Structures are given as structure tokens and as C-alpha cells.
Amino acid sequence: MKLVVVSAGLSVPSSTRLLADRLAAAVGRQTSVEVEVVELRDLAVEIAHNFTNGFPGRALAAAQDAVTSADGLIVVTPVFSASYSGLFKSFFDVLDKDALEGKPVLIAATGGSARHSLVLEHALRPLFAYLRAVVVPTGVYAASEDWGAEGLDARIERAAGELTRLMTGLPKPRRPTDDLEVVPFAERLAALSPGGVRGGR
């Protein structure tokens, strides 16, 4: 299976790319995948030219083909002005409108403050829902203070597991509570009262 990682990080090294790599590694621990990374920083000029002349350059066309043919995507953007970066949005603007239909996508973002964590829900999730992708339930946001802190690794593993199950068609893992017998509340009350359950509120 082919997993394509789209990273919109601008600096080198980049926390956005670091998060992307950790997510891809987590998927790789759960299933066998061929990983291809698309660095949007390297495609910025060709993306701009695509807007003005309507044709992708060679590198951009290869990235578009990679995304279109992928079995699953991990997309990671830094937060700018409380939303995804312009470069990130521009790349998906120049994709074919049907390229992501039905494709499993894991959304993630990085930012300087935890206050921007809702960017996943108010910006990224609606974007990929509009593109008719299948977005995994768990998005991963990493603020500066999250690196090395408790909780980030668990979110990465959970999101990677959800993407893996969508890519492979595996069923959701059973929880210990799945086999518990469900007893109606009225029966439980009747068992506690010698005279049974009486009317009233």
C-alpha cells in the first residue's frame, strides 16, 4: 500500500515535517506501507505558475499523481492566522476536484500555541470533507509545548491506527466492554426492590 505524506512546513528543520514523519512511522508500525513525502516548500513556484498558466510543472505533476494514486494520505500544515497555510491550501486548489474522493486522510497541524488546536475542526476537516475525502476521527495538533510532553504520542498512535484501519479495511479493535451484557435499567431497579418497581418519577 502507498501512503503519501503532504508536509507544508517552511523551515529546515521543520516541526511540521517532524510531526508528519512521526505519524507516518506510526502507520508503518501497524501495517506495511510504501511512504512518499511531498514537501510543498519545494513546489511553491510551480504551484504559483499553475495558477497563472493552468499547467503543472514536472515536479508538481508528479506530486499530484502521487496524491491521486495513494491508498491513504497524511496532511500536515503549520498554522498561519488561525488557519492552514496559503501554500497548503494552494496545493489542494490545483488538484483535480475528484482526486481525493473516498480517500482516507489523516489531518494534522503544528502551531506555537495550544489555542490554535481547533484549526483541525474549523479549517482542515471542512476542507477535506468538501473534497469528499474520508477524514479519520482523530486529528493531531502539536503546539510548541507538546513536543516531549505526555499525550502527543498517544494521539499519534490513535490517529495512525484509525488511518491504518481505513486503508486496510480492518475492523475496529474490540474493547473490553464490548462483551458486557446490557441489562435494562428497569430490570436493575426491580432487582433492588423486593416489591418490584412502582410507578412514579
pTM > 0.85: no
Cell of 72: 491513504
Structure confidence at residue 65 (pLDDT): 97
**What percentage of the chain has pLDDT greater than the value 70?**
89
pLDDT, tens digit (0-9, with 9 covering 90-100), for 31-43: 999 999 999 999 9
- 28 C-beta neighbours (distance < 10 Å), count: 15
Q: Which parts of the chain sit beneath pLDDT 50?
A: 197, 199-200
pLDDT tens figures, 58-95: 999 999 999 999 999 999 999 998 899 999 999 999 99
Residue burial 110-136, b: 16+ Cβ < 10 Å; e: rest: bbeeeebbebbeebbbebbeebebebb
Cβ-based burial of 184 (10 A; exposed 0-12, middle 13-18, buried ≥19): exposed
